[in-house]
Chain A
Amino acid sequence: MSIDAENLDILQVYPDELGVTGDSGNVLAIATRVRRAGATATVRHHRIGDATPERPDVVVIGNGPLSAVRSVLDDARRLGPVLGDWVAAGVPLLAVGAGMELLGQRILTPERESIDGLGIFPITTDRAGSRHAGYLVVESPVGPIVGFEDHRTTTTWADGAVPFGRVTAGVTGTAGSADGIRVANAIGTRVQGPVLPLNPVLTDFLIARALERRGVDWSASSAHDELDRLASEARAVILANIDHVFSTI
């Protein structure tokens, strides 16, 4: 089946609270790629207090401070079972930073308070680790992913949990350790930048998983050449500066 008659329905969850690291860019990257292929994309938002949303084709949750996570908690507990069902059914989902933490089992705050997460990702996160801020490369089954990380979260994986990938380069101290989490077609990662515009391979993965549910094949075409060229140039500069140490004060 051809792509041009299709509409991809993207749901961004808590865009105001969990959206401080350009997370709308992840939504925009998916929509832009789909549109350039001649299809349409719609973007919906779920905000605190909104009715439980219909199942979308792709879900995006972004990053934010701990106070923002706290502010969405009540609503997120209501949404959690629905999100969990979607993930179990294979709906692709991208959660970055605090969004990933929220979907985990438990968040430990710097004050050592324990906050229950939504239990969709088999991880617990501790926000009192040391600071990691800088470029990184994550080798993942989807492909190498390049971007920026900025957090002080230590992740612990439950038995049998599958990380998204392994950090292979960077100077923030995470190189050699695992990054993120993968459950079915749901991916959690620390990589911002935001991650999808910089890494079309990951964007294509999410779109392909969404469309295969309808029996539609997806692959990048010449319509994506300019996006791919600019992303590739941007990644090349990041790779060239991968050892850049950014002082935080």
Chain B
Amino acid sequence: MGLRYTVPILIGRLARTATRARGGGSAYPGHLVNRLAPSYLPSLPDQLPGGVVFVLGSNGKSTTTHMVSELLRAHGLKVFTNPTGANLPQGVTSALLSEVSLTGRLSADVAVLEIDEAYAVKLAQTLRPSIVLMLNVQVDQLFRFYETERVADMMIDTGVLAESHVVTNREDPYLSKVGRKITDDRPAVSYFGASSDVVASSAHGLVNAEDFRDPEAVGDVDAASEVVAWSGTTARIAIGGDELDIVLPARGLHYAVDAAAALQTARLVLESQFSASRAVEAFRVMRPAYGRGELLRFGQEDVEITMFKNGASLQLNLDAFDTPPEQVLLAIDEGTPDISWIYDVDFSALDHVDVISGAKGWQVALRLEHAGIPVHHVEPELKKGIEIMRGMPAPTSGRKAWIVNYEQMMYARKLVGQGDMEIAR
């Protein structure tokens, strides 16, 4: 730390003010600081007595990062974290710019960071995480990485760089095998998971990618943190000899598994300071992460926003509906390049869709026609689609459900005047 960082930080902040004035956040200020002061980001871990935690995964990174942060805060720790999607090196530095002093000092005990897989190894070398949490590998990132193995290897190669612990998913065919790549006694491997009964109770299980390269399973290992019961927005999680009854921030088995992962990670950070009752209370008051089962006030009514990135997360979110939602908007646009996978998704949790929006709306309508699910309106223009939804009376039970991809969620928020969140991608 010191004065040598003051000028780069000032320049970065100026850049941030400028990009914000132009409307919308950006990763550019972080990129600028990383260029001007390349030793700045690597100085971060030394300032954090609780170390750095990385959260990796095809699905659930933002939710779980949020959960770990809230759990640690509930135990009195000051947590630095990056906002949703700000998971590239420049995004992390951009997030830092709003928190650090002019000398670059960060007043926090621990950093909990969601990290993009493609940059994870490089960032692990820079930020030397003490704990790496690996959530899952799902067949969702084919478009970005082409082969599922590449994503798995990026995560595993990062996990082994953890200084003390790697926390991994026992139910993930790829990530459960991280221990096979660790030759020393560090990092220690611990698992989270869900009991076989719980997995079986979900219509399509956990939708993790199959490992065709190495079909041999990791075998019967104990999970340090395990979902032993789940129903909608509640879960019972066995951890450290206790069974915790948790309220999830949104509906779905995937959120229960994320909670199990977050609990184990928080427990490793907190060691003997971990308190089961504080953890339960933290979950009780936790708000959903941005766009994950979040309620959005829209005129006179609440809308429940469910964001999906891919087939796996769409399936898990659909499976989480107890009964078909009365009013549904489904929107997907060019932000999701290849949607061939819509034919692998079982849409039978829906008995109809009121409005399909987005540039890929007609493709989705065609898919639902093949599934025999009635679609009332196809309106590629999201703005008009929202108007149709708005013109409908309030549902007799539940809320209007908007099931949207990331880009359509951002656009929808903007349209309803809630596009204020900085996203540095």
Contact = CB atoms under 8 A, between A and B. Distances in A.
Interface stretch (A14-22, A100-108, A205-213): A14-22
Given A65-B212, A237-B380, A22 B147 contact: no
B362 A237 contact: yes
Nearest to A226: B369
A241 B335 CA distance: 12
A65 B149 contact: yes
Interface string A222-249: 0000110011011011100100101011
Interface string B182-220: 000000000000000000000000000010110100000
A238 to B, nearest CB: 8
A174 to B, nearest CB: 15
Given A20-B139, A230-B362, A246-B143, A71 B337 contact: no
A29 B338 contact: no
A188 B411 CA distance: 39
Given A17-B212, A150-B143, A197-B367, A22 B341 contact: yes
A196 B180 CA distance: 42
Given A133-B337, A194-B343, A67 B362 contact: no
Given A233-B362, A241-B334, A66 B341 contact: no
Interface of A: 16-17, 19-25, 28-29, 32, 64-68, 70-71, 131, 133-134, 148, 150, 152, 192-194, 197-198, 226-227, 230-231, 233-234, 236-238, 241, 244, 246, 248-249
B143 A21 contact: no
Interface in B102-123: 118
A231 B368 CA distance: 12
B48 interface: no
Contacts of B298: none
B329 interface: no
A185 to B, nearest CB: 23
A148 B338 contact: yes
B348 interface: no
Contacts of A148: 337-338, 340
Contacts of B343: 22-25, 28, 194, 197
Interface in B328-378: 334, 337-344, 359-363, 365-367, 369-370, 378
B85 to A, nearest CB: 14
A227 B367 CA distance: 9
Given A197-B370, A230-B365, A230-B366, A131 B380 contact: no
Q: Which of B213, B340, B344, B380 has the most CB of A within 10 A?
A: B340
B340 A24 contact: no
Q: Which of B143, B212, B378 has the most CB of A within 10 A?
A: B212
B155 to A, nearest CB: 16
Interface of B: 118, 139, 142-144, 146-149, 210, 212-213, 215, 334, 337-344, 359-363, 365-367, 369-370, 378, 380
A16 B210 contact: yes
Closest 4 CB pairs of A and B: A25-B343, A22-B343, A22-B340, A234-B362
22 contacts: A19-B344, A20-B341, A20-B344, A25-B342, A25-B367, A25-B370, A28-B343, A133-B143, A133-B337, A148-B338, A193-B363, A198-B366, A227-B366, A230-B362, A230-B369, A233-B365, A234-B362, A234-B366, A238-B363, A241-B334, A248-B144, A249-B118
A134 B334 CA distance: 11
Contact of B337 (A32, A67, A231, A246): A246
A244 B212 contact: no
Given A133-B338, A148-B337, A231 B366 contact: yes
Given A70-B212, A230-B369, A65 B147 contact: yes
A65 B148 contact: yes
B340 A193 contact: yes
Q: Which of B139, B338, B360, B380 has the most CB of A within 10 A?
A: B338
B357 to A, nearest CB: 12
B123 to A, nearest CB: 15
A64 B144 CA distance: 15
A150 B339 CA distance: 11
A32 B366 CA distance: 12
A231 B362 CA distance: 8
A156 B380 CA distance: 40
Given A25-B340, A28-B370, A134-B337, A71 B143 contact: no
Nearest to A192: B340
A21 B367 contact: no
B338 A21 contact: yes
Contact of A150 (B142, B215, B363): B142
A235 B342 CA distance: 16
A17 B212 CA distance: 8
Contacts of B139: 20
Contacts of A68: 212
A198 B340 CA distance: 10
B366 A21 contact: no
Contacts of A197: 343, 366-367, 370
B285 to A, nearest CB: 37
